[in-house]
Amino acid sequence: MSVRVERDGHVVIITLDRPHARNALDPATSEELLEAFTAFKDDDSQWVAVLCGAGEHFCAGADLKAARGGRRRIPEGGITREYWTTKPIIAALQGAVFGGGLELALCADLRVADETARLGQLEVRWGLMPGAGGTQRLPRLVGLGVALELVMTGEPVDAQRALQAGLVNRVVPAGQARAAALELAATIASRAPLAVRRAKEATLRGLSMPLEDGLRMETLVASLLAGTADLQEGRRAFSEKRAPRFEGH
């Protein structure tokens, strides 16, 4: 198995476990990754996912040694393509975050990098181009200019430049990315899970809408929380000046 799955309460930790190959993605690993995230999506007791890489690197990209004919093999239906969930995902980044590894990190909602992280789309160095979402997710996250620089030069950036560009949310000392991501996940998992999911859904769907339509959609999505047990618990906890105990319904 190239993907390890662990549980910590309502948080699921999904770890790429090919440190000997810098966690490069071969077809089997990509399929295992999709299976792990599909299970996360379908399990109501799993509220937040943290994606990690074992060893010194997050993911060095596609495993070109496993590719055929000089092309990367991107499994159809993989997480970088059709996968969608309203549940929050956090990526913990260290070392190499290259090519398909960066595209995988872009599928997360939040990214925590340690000081050793280097992030880049290196494909043009080898006669390739990003083909697992890099040309689409990068400009939506960091803007057109920075995205084109990364895609067309094939030059990676360090963690601080990634932070400045908005490519990562936080930078922590070396070796602390996983712990910091888990701390962030624990904070999110302490909030009302249905509210978190609806907020993520409204935010992402609104990106493709004019503001007026987005505001209307936001109102409709927010109304779906009316009558939920978690909303009632939140109100009771607020009036009683205590921490709420959410159950996800």
Structural domains for the chain = 3-189 (3.90.226.10), 193-240 (1.10.12)
* Residues identified as active-site: 103, 123
pLDDT digits (tens, 9 = 90+) for 57-103: 999 998 877 655 444 444 444 798 889 999 999 999 999 999 999 99
Helix (H), strand (E) at residue 190: none
Task: Report residue 139's pLDDT band, with 50, 70 and 90 as the boundaries.
Answer: very high
CA dihedral sign, ordered 54, 97, 102, 186: positive
Enter the DSSP assignment of 134. H
Enter the DSSP assignment of 197. H
Residue 10 and residue 40 in contact, taking contact as beta carbons nearer than 8 Å: no
Three-state secondary structure readout of 19-32:
HHHCCCECHHHHHH
pLDDT digits (tens, 9 = 90+) for 214-246: 999 999 999 999 989 999 999 999 999 999 999
The answer to whether residue 1 scores a pLDDT higher than 80 is yes
Tokens 């302490």 belong to: 190
Helix (H), strand (E) at residue 80: none
Dist CA 153 CA 123 (whole Å)? 9
pLDDT digits (tens, 9 = 90+) for 162-182: 999 999 999 999 999 999 999
Q: Which two tokens stand for residue 33?
A: 């990754």
Dist CA 188 CA 155 (whole Å)? 33
